[in-house]
Amino acid sequence: MIEPVQLPSPWRDAHLTVVVPTYNEAGNLPALVERLLALPLPGLRILVADDNSPDGTGEVADKLAIEHPDRIEVMHRAGKEGLGRAYVDGMGRAIEGGAEYVAQMDADLSHPPEALPGMLGALLSTQAGVVIGSRYVPGGELDENWPLYRRALSGWANLYVHTLLRVRIRDLTAGFKIWRADALRDIGLHRVQSNGYSFQVEMHYLATKLGHTILEVPIRFEERRDGESKMTTATKVESALMPFRLRSKHRNITG
Dump pLDDT digits (tens) for 103-120: 999 999 999 999 999 999
pLDDT digits (tens, 9 = 90+) for 33-89: 999 999 999 999 999 999 999 999 999 999 999 999 999 999 999 888 788 899 999
- Per the DSSP assignment, residues forming a β-bridge with 102 are 17, 179
Q: What torsion do the CA atoms of 78, 84, 90, 95 make, to the nearest 10 degrees?
A: -140
Please give the span between the terminal C-alpha atoms of the chain, in angstroms, as a whole number.
Answer: 39
Is residue 223 pLDDT above 90, yes or no?
Answer: no
Average confidence (pLDDT) over 186-200:
85
Is residue 188 pLDDT above 80, yes or no?
Answer: yes
> pTM, whole model, 2 decimals?
0.88
pLDDT-based confidence at residue 246 (cuts at 50, 70, 90): low
Of 33-42, 89-98, 191-200, 228-237, the least confident: 228-237
Q: What is the pLDDT of residue 144?
A: 73
Is-contact 101 178, C-beta < 8 A? yes
Q: Pick 147 or 204 by higher pLDDT.
A: 204
Average confidence (pLDDT) over 165-185:
90
Q: What is the pLDDT of residue 143?
A: 74
Q: What is the pLDDT of residue 241?
A: 60
Is residue 13 pLDDT above 90, yes or no?
Answer: yes
Q: What is the pLDDT of residue 112?
A: 96
Q: Which amino acid is at 255?
A: G
Q: Give the residue from 215, 13, 20, 161 showing the smallest Cα distance to 102.
A: 20
